[in-house]
C-alpha cells in the first residue's frame, strides 16, 4: 500500500500554509470539472503523467501539489505514484464531495446519525448542526477548562477547533486535565489533545498552535475564528485575551476557577461590557493561580462545560448568553448567582469612551509573562 500524505478540506478552506505553496489539481473527468470544481484547481484528468504535471507546476511556480478526485479514493493511488516519482503530492481527503459538504455545511448520513440526539432539539435542528459544522472556535489553554470545553465542542460537531497551548503534560495535571493520561506525561498538551479529539470525532478538523498566546501572536491566532474560549488561569492572559478579542471584535467566553468557585462571562461585539469593564486592571501584587491556590477538577469541569455551551448557543443563535452577566457558582454549597453588569464602564481602557488600548502588541509590557494554564 505504501504511505501517502493528505490534507483535509478544513485545512484547505482554512488557508493552511501548504495550500499557498501548492497547485490544486482536479483529476476527475473533464465533464465533471465543467460542472463544478474547487476554485483555483486545474483540470488534469487521469491518467496523470508526472512529466506533464511537473510542467504545469513549473508554470504556476508551485513546488507541491494537492490532488483531488470525487471522494478521495482514486486520488490516493495517484498521490502514491507521484510521490514515488519524487513529486511532493498530497491527497485531499474526501475529495470534491467532502469539499462541497464542508463549503455548504451540509451533513453526510453518518454525521446525521452521530448528531441525531441533538439535532432532534427544535432549538438546534439540521440548520443549527450545519452552523456548528461551518463554525471555527478557538480554545486558548488545553488544561482543566480546556479539556472539558474542547471535548464537548468536538463531540457536538464544531467543524474547526483551534487549540493554542504551549505547555507539556505533568503528572500533577492529571487530576483535572482529563484529556490526558499517565502515558502522555512529558508530551505536548496541544498534540495529545488534538489526537484525542480527532479520534473522538472524525468529522472535525483541529488546528494546533504549539505556543502560549502573547501580545505579539494573539492577533494572528484569533483572527480567523468565530468564537474564542478563554481557558487559561492567569490574570495577565485573561486581560490579554479580553483586549485582543474586543479590539478585533471576536466574541469570547471568559471563565475562572479557583478552589471550589467558578465564574463565567461572555462578550459579544456591540454594547456589552467586557472583562476589563468589570475588573478594570491587572491587580498589583500576588494573585494565586491554580498551582498555588488549589483547584478541584470537577469544578473546572462544570465551568468548562458552560463555556462550551456558550459557544454552541452563540453559533446556533439559540438561548441567552452570559452577556452583561457574570455567572458565579460556589461548589461547596452549590449556591449560584448571576451578577448583572448592565452596561459598559465608560472609563474602560479598551472599550470605554476614550480607549487607550487599541492594539495589544503595542502594550506588551502590561500583560506580564506568566503562563500557567488551568
Ligand atoms: Zn470594556
Separation of 279 CA from ligand 1 center, angstroms?
9
Global confidence as pTM: 0.81
Separation of 350 CA from ligand 1 center, angstroms?
5
Separation of 346 CA from ligand 1 center, angstroms?
8
Beta-carbon contacts of residue 149 (< 8 Å; ≥ 6 apart): 139, 229, 231, 304, 305, 307, 308, 311
**Cα 175 to Cα 232: distance, rounded to the nearest angstrom:** 17
Three-class secondary structure of residue 284 per DSSP: coil
| The pLDDT value given to residue 224 | 85
Separation of 24 CA from ligand 1 center, angstroms?
44
Separation of 353 CA from ligand 1 center, angstroms?
10
Q: For residue 49, what is its C-alpha cell?
A: 503523467
Separation of 276 CA from ligand 1 center, angstroms?
5
Separation of 176 CA from ligand 1 center, angstroms?
31
Separation of 242 CA from ligand 1 center, angstroms?
9
**Cα 373 to Cα 304: distance, rounded to the nearest angstrom:** 13
CA neighbours within 13 Å on the CB side: how many for 371?
Answer: 11
**Cα 129 to Cα 132: distance, rounded to the nearest angstrom:** 5
Beta-carbon contacts of residue 17 (< 8 Å; ≥ 6 apart): none
pLDDT in tens, the chain (374 residues): 456 789 888 778 776 566 778 999 999 999 999 999 999 999 999 999 999 999 999 999 999 999 999 999 999 999 999 999 999 999 999 899 888 888 777 898 899 999 999 999 999 999 999 999 999 999 999 999 999 999 999 999 999 999 999 999 999 999 999 999 999 999 999 999 999 999 999 889 899 999 999 999 999 999 989 999 999 988 999 999 999 999 999 999 999 999 999 999 999 999 999 999 999 988 776 666 656 778 999 999 999 999 999 999 999 999 999 999 999 999 999 999 999 999 999 999 999 999 999 999 887 777 875 444 45
Rounded to 5 degrees, φ, ψ at 342 are -65, -30
**Domains recognised in the chain with CATH numbers:** 5-103 (3.40.250.10), 135-367 (3.40.50.720)
**Whole-number Cα distances in Å, 283 to 218, 279, 287, 366:** 22, 9, 8, 11
Separation of 252 CA from ligand 1 center, angstroms?
13
Separation of 357 CA from ligand 1 center, angstroms?
10
Separation of 272 CA from ligand 1 center, angstroms?
8
| The pLDDT value given to residue 365 | 73
Separation of 285 CA from ligand 1 center, angstroms?
22
Separation of 309 CA from ligand 1 center, angstroms?
23
Separation of 366 CA from ligand 1 center, angstroms?
16
| The pLDDT value given to residue 150 | 98
**Cβ contacts of 86-91, under 8 Å, gap ≥ 24:** 87/50, 87/53, 87/54, 87/57, 88/63, 88/64, 89/4, 89/5, 89/64, 89/65, 90/5, 90/6, 90/7, 90/18, 90/22, 90/64, 90/65, 90/66, 91/4, 91/5, 91/6, 91/7, 91/66, 91/67
Separation of 275 CA from ligand 1 center, angstroms?
6
Q: Which residues pair with 36 in a beta bridge?
A: none
Separation of 180 CA from ligand 1 center, angstroms?
35
∠ Cα 31 7 73 (to 5°): 50
| The pLDDT value given to residue 290 | 59
Residue entry with cell 485582543: 244
Three-class secondary structure of residue 258 per DSSP: strand
β-pairing, 261-267 vs 325-330, is antiparallel
Three-class secondary structure of residue 6 per DSSP: strand
Separation of 270 CA from ligand 1 center, angstroms?
11
Number of H helices, E strands in the chain: 16, 13
Side-by-side strand order, sheet with 22-26:
5-7, 88-92, 64-68, 22-26, 42-43
Separation of 348 CA from ligand 1 center, angstroms?
5
Amino acid at each position: 500500500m505504501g504511505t501517502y500524505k493528505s490534507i483535509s478540506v478544513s485545512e484547505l478552506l482554512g488557508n493552511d500554509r501548504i495550500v499557498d505553496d501548492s497547485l490544486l489539481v482536479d483529476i476527475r473527468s473533464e465533464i465533471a470539472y465543467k460542472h463544478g470544481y474547487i476554485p483555483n484547481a486545474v483540470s488534469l484528468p487521469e491518467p496523470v503523467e508526472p512529466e506533464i504535471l511537473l510542467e504545469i507546476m513549473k508554470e504556476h511556480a508551485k513546488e507541491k501539489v494537492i490532488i483531488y478526485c470525487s471522494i478521495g479514493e482514486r486520488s490516493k493511488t495517484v498521490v502514491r505514484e507521484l510521490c514515488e516519482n519524487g513529486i511532493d503530492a498530497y491527497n485531499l481527503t474526501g475529495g470534491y464531495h467532502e469539499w462541497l459538504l464542508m463549503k455548504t455545511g451540509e451533513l453526510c448520513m453518518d454525521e446525521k446519525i452521530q448528531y441525531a440526539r441533538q439535532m432532534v432539539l427544535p432549538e438546534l435542528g439540521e440548520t443549527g448542526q450545519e452552523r456548528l459544522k461551518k463554525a471555527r472556535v478557538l480554545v486558548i489553554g488545553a488544561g482543566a477548562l480546556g479539556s472539558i470545553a474542547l471535548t464537548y465542542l468536538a463531540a457536538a460537531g464544531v467543524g474547526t477547533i483551534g487549540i493554542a497551548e504551549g505547555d507539556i503534560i505533568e503528572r500533577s495535571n492529571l487530576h483535572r486535565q482529563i484529556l490526558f493520561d499517565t502515558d502522555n506525561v512529558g508530551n505536548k498538551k496541544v498534540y495529545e489533545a488534538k489526537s484525542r479529539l480527532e479520534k473522538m470525532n472524525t468529522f472535525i478538523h483541529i488546528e494546533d498552535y504549539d505556543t502560549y498566546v502573547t501580545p505579539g501572536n494573539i492577533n494572528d491566532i484569533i483572527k480567523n475564528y468565530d468564537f474564542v474560549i478563554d481557558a487559561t488561569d492567569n490574570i495577565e492572559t485573561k486581560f490579554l485575551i479580553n483586549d485582543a478579542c474586543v479590539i478585533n471584535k471576536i466574541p469570547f467566553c471568559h471563565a475562572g476557577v479557583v478552589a471550589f468557585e467558578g465564574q463565567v462571562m461572555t462578550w459579544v461585539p456591540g454594547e456589552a461590557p467586557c472583562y476589563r469593564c468589570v475588573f478594570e486592571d491587572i491587580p498589583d501584587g500576588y494573585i494565586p493561580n491554580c498551582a498555588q491556590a488549589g483547584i478541584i477538577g470537577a469544578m473546572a469541569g462544570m465551568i468548562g462545560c458552560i463555556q462550551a455551551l456558550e459557544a454552541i448557543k452563540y453559533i446556533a443563535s439559540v438561548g441567552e448568553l452570559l452577556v452583561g452577566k457574570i455567572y458565579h457558582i460556589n461548589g461547596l454549597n452549590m449556591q449560584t448567582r448571576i451578577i448583572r453588569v448592565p452596561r459598559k464602564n465608560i472609563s474602560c481602557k479598551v472599550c470605554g469612551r476614550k480607549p487607550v488600548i487599541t492594539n495589544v502588541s503595542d502594550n506588551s509590557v502590561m500583560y506580564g509573562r506568566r503562563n500557567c494554564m488551568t
